[in-house]
Amino acid sequence: MFYCLEMLALRLCVPTWYSFYYWENDFVKMELRERNKTKNIPKELLSMNSSDTVATSLHHLKDRTLEGHILHFADIHEEREYETVLRKAVTHSHNGHSTFVQEFQSVKESSLGADPTITYRAPADSRIYDILVVEEDEMSRQILSMLLRRNYLTYKFAHSPEEASEKYVGDHYRLMLIGTDNPEILHKGLSELLGKSKVPVLAMKTRISKEHVTQFINTGFADVVVKPYTEDQLLKYLHANMKDNTYEKNETTDQSSSHDGDTISLDQLKRIGNSDTDFLLKMLDKFIISVQECSEALEAALPEKNWQQMRQAAHKSIPSFSLMGVTNMLQDLEFIEHQSNEESKQEEVLTRAENILKKNKKIIADVRLEMEALRNGKKT
Amino acid sequence: METTKETKHVLVIDDDDFLLAAIKKKLELAGYKVTVSNNVHDAYFKLNMSKPDLIMLDIIMPDINGIEFMHLIKSQIMLGSTPIVLMSYLPKAELYKMGYDLASAYYLDKPFDVNELPELIKNVGLHV
């Protein structure tokens, strides 16, 4: 407490960025000292320099409050600094973390002198992002930047729809977020951008009525984020629109008219393999094996209520069921994967697992019919 | 990343054989040379045999998780600069909370549309 007051006094007496920087570092160290009384934090962490202390604490404490301080620390520096902080944290956490790594590490270190902390580096410009944000207002950009970063969402900013159009062509995004408070944005290529976008586009607007929301949606926006928003509200909008994979969503939209999601569909596989029959047969053969493995794992796990085994079986089956277009089954598999830990949901997990077992038998029968038809040359 | 007319080599590591076969076919048709591994031991062996231009790596695997394997790859002098695309069903936020750093890799949410992969790979900078 005394230490805190001392630091506060120092901060008030010398109110410069320079002193603020050191005050923040000391504050984090102080937090660590406090927590060291109750948690098992290695003592050497407390003697590290500031960035190491911050970075290591992120991993060791997993504490939201302290994490908040760390993020705040990162916010007052450049974005690059934040990445360095996170990177250092993981470098610390991974040294000798796995026996496999240790085993190969020792071999390689002796021959190559390799050190993960030296060669570990980020690419200059990653091009798969969660969100493309189109926002003219500097303050709004800063707020969004902080909130998105704090929630581990990757993003890029564009100042105008024209700039966003260029970025959209070059990179991949899962969602677009457009600030629409400035009416002039309508004359800056907004409609072209909306027409071009294959990902959901959210508008951000201050104080908007329900009628206006409808207008926005009719224009092509997926939804409107009403300003001022809380962090939770913003995240709710973002995750509601990003929860499914964008590419998958585009694809399933095309298929939905002819495919009900209960039976298999060869559409995706045909596109992957240019309708190569041998490839389709090979894939169907592999799919039968996956379905059988899924059934065997669930059958073994159900009587013992082995939730972990059910979760693993569901997790492993999702890619193949997704590729085969059995989308209704995916809902059950994802439910088992995500809800098995929840005691209140475990009854439903059992029901869904039994449901999958029943459906698997039908799916295997369907696949065999498809294979027979392909072999007989009745289908391309 | 340099762009040449020679065939680019992609190594895909995933314990799901069904997905591996689909990715391999799609990328081969798009003009890439594709090597697949369904476990990291095999992948490690293949990495020592030839250096790929891109590594696609599943995160949740039986022997070692993909991020740990990525760190191992990044620690190798010959492989340190090879771009890596991590693939997972886990939301990125979960991975960060678990203490993992994704800053040195590209990240691809599962399930993804395999048909979009050639385009995605181009965006990583790897052109045939």
Q: Does A29 touch chain B (CB under 8 A)?
A: no
- Decide which of B74 and A380 is more confident: B74
Closest-CA residue of chain B to A318: B111
Gap between the Cα atoms of A191 and A340, Å rounded: 44
- Report the pLDDT value the prediction gives residue A296, as an integer from 0 to 100: 93
Q: Mind telling me how many Å the CA of B81 is from chain A's nearest CA?
A: 8
**A111-130 pLDDT tens trace:** 323 232 222 222 334 356 77
**Each residue's pLDDT tens digit, A149-205:** 767 677 888 888 888 887 777 667 778 898 887 777 766 677 778 777 778 888 888
Q: Does A102 touch chain B (CB under 8 A)?
A: no
Q: Which amino acid is at A78?
A: E
Enter the pTM of the model: 0.52
Per-residue confidence (pLDDT) for residue A58, from 0 to 100: 42
Size of interface A-B (CB pairs under 8 A): 157
- Nearest residue on chain A to B40, alpha-carbon basis: A100
Compute the distance between CA of residue A303 and CA of residue A299 in angstroms, rounded to an integer: 7
Query: What is the predicted ipTM?
Result: 0.82
Per-residue pLDDT reduced to its tens digit, A303-314: 988 988 898 888
The percentage of residues in chain A with a pLDDT greater than 90, rounded to a whole number, is 9
Model confidence band, residue A5 (pLDDT cutoffs 50, 70, 90): low
Question: What is the share, in percent, of chain B residues with pLDDT greater than 90?
Answer: 30
Average pLDDT for A9-38: 43
Better pLDDT: B37 or A81:
B37
Model confidence band, residue A378 (pLDDT cutoffs 50, 70, 90): low
State the best of A245, A253, A281 to mutate against chain B, taking most chain B CBs within 10 Å.
A245
